[in-house]
Amino acid sequence: MRLGLVLALATAPSAVVGALLATQVSARVLAAFFALTLAASAQRMLATSKRAATETRHAQSDRESSSLQFRSEYIDQASGNKIQYAVRHVPVGVATSAIAGLISGMLGVGGGIVQVPVMNVVMNVPIKVATTTSTYVIGITAMAGAFVYYNHRPSYVDPALTLPVTIGVFLGASFGSILIGRIRPTVLRNLFIAVLMVYAVQMALRVFGIGGG
Amino acid sequence: MQGRIDKRNDSTDTHVGVLLLAGLLCSMAAMVAGVVLSLLQGRNLPAHVLPLTKVVAALTAGRGPAFVDVGILILFATPFFGVLAALIEFSRQRDRAFVTVSATLLVVLCAGFAVATHS
């Protein structure tokens, strides 16, 4: 949670800026931006797959991480191993989180598509910790941008859609939180890359008017 | 690994997690109540939420859609209270660095809300 709070310091203000920009930019431009971001994230994760497969982590913090106590451990239920890690390159993570927040605010999606690869590849955070930390940050980031959409007149928030989406996300997230303990990190990482690619293609199709606005 | 691993993270995570879950459940309860009330009152849910300034009046008038709007607002506000709970936990632990981080984040969120309501 400590790491999440620090990253949220960057994502929250940029999400507000992103949400304000989104009301001025066309849906196709947003879709193109989203598609490129997803493709770049997937490419970066694929490029580092071999290293990450071993889930070997730097055991020592760098200077910034040491001062903020960014060292932790967890028991991986899937393998039974105790995974210890020390977060590194916090300034890079914070800077990238600002971009993630901007995307989140502009597109109404979680900035996890950017944050998870950065945390995992750059900041030395295990994939399971990266996904769960990202979930926490997304809540704060989404809240920062959501009020812009709520207050826009006419509002962009559709009450009839909100309840089924909330229930669906609640059930999915509850199931996911059970599943994440049992799934192997490499499987989770590959699944994440596949989801990034599917969404990248879907968004690219939207740029050309295929598959929705 | 150098240095110790701070076990205090666990209790903070648990408390904040419980609060976030409670906020989500309250939000869903308000939305479900709103949908049921709207059905009983023969009202369709509008395509847009009410402006913030009109929500309280609609709520006191017992209009179903207003309860849905309140549920949405609880959902939006829950992470704010999560950060507030973290601030309280870090204060108890006398963790100055993270008291500063969480307090700054609360200020940022309030500023964001102010910008959103005046944009």
List of chain B residues whose C-beta atoms are within 8 Å of the C-beta of residue A163: 28, 31-32, 35, 68, 71
Q: What chain B residue is nearest to A137 in terms of C-alpha separation?
A: B79
Cα distances (Å, whole numbers) of residue A65 to A59, A75, A97, A124, B49: 12, 21, 16, 11, 43
Would you place residue A84 in the very low, low, confident or very high pLDDT band (cuts 50, 70, 90)?
confident
Q: What chain A residue is nearest to B79 in terms of C-alpha separation?
A: A140
Report helix, strand or coil for A98. helix
Looking at residue A55, its pLDDT comes to: 53
Residue written as token pair 């977060």: A87
What rounded mean pLDDT belongs to chain A? 81
Least Cα separation, residue B35 to chain A (angstroms): 8
Nearest of A93, A66, A135 to residue A6 by alpha carbon: A93
The stretch B32-46 carries a mean pLDDT of 90
Looking at residue B74, its pLDDT comes to: 94
Report helix, strand or coil for B47. coil
Backbone angles phi, psi at A71, to 5 degrees: -125, 140
Neighbours of A122 (CB within 10 A): 16
Would you place residue B12 in the very low, low, confident or very high pLDDT band (cuts 50, 70, 90)?
confident
Residue B107: is its pLDDT beyond 70? yes
Backbone angles phi, psi at B18, to 5 degrees: -65, -40
The stretch A70-83 carries a mean pLDDT of 77
The stretch A108-117 carries a mean pLDDT of 76
Residue of B76, B100, B104, B117 best to disrupt the A interface, most CBs of A under 10 A: B76
Q: What is the pTM of this model?
A: 0.79
Q: Quick check: A56 contacting B, CB < 8 Å?
A: no
Q: How far apart are CA A206 and CA A33, in angstroms?
A: 11
Would you place residue B2 in the very low, low, confident or very high pLDDT band (cuts 50, 70, 90)?
very low
Would you place residue B3 in the very low, low, confident or very high pLDDT band (cuts 50, 70, 90)?
very low
Give residue A55's region: left, alpha or beta (phi > 0; psi -120 to 50).
left
CB contact under 8 A, A5 and B5: no
Q: What chain A residue is nearest to B53 in terms of C-alpha separation?
A: A151
Q: Any idea what DSSP says for residue A84?
A: E
Q: How far apart are CA B101 and CA A9, in angstroms?
A: 8
> Is this complex scored with an ipTM above 0.90?
no
Cα distances (Å, whole numbers) of residue B27 to A149, A170, B24, B35, B56: 18, 11, 5, 12, 16
**B108: CB partners within 8 A, 6+ apart:** A9, A12, A13, A144
What rounded mean pLDDT belongs to chain B? 86
pLDDT tens string A161-202: 888 999 998 899 889 888 888 888 888 888 888 988 888 898
CB contact under 8 A, A71 and B6: yes
Helix or strand run (H / E) with residue B102: helix B96-118
CB contact under 8 A, A151 and B52: yes
Computed over its alpha carbons, how large is the radius of gyration of chain A?
A: 17
Q: How far apart are CA B3 and CA A84, in angstroms?
A: 12
pLDDT tens string B51-94: 888 888 989 998 999 999 999 999 989 999 999 999 999 999 88
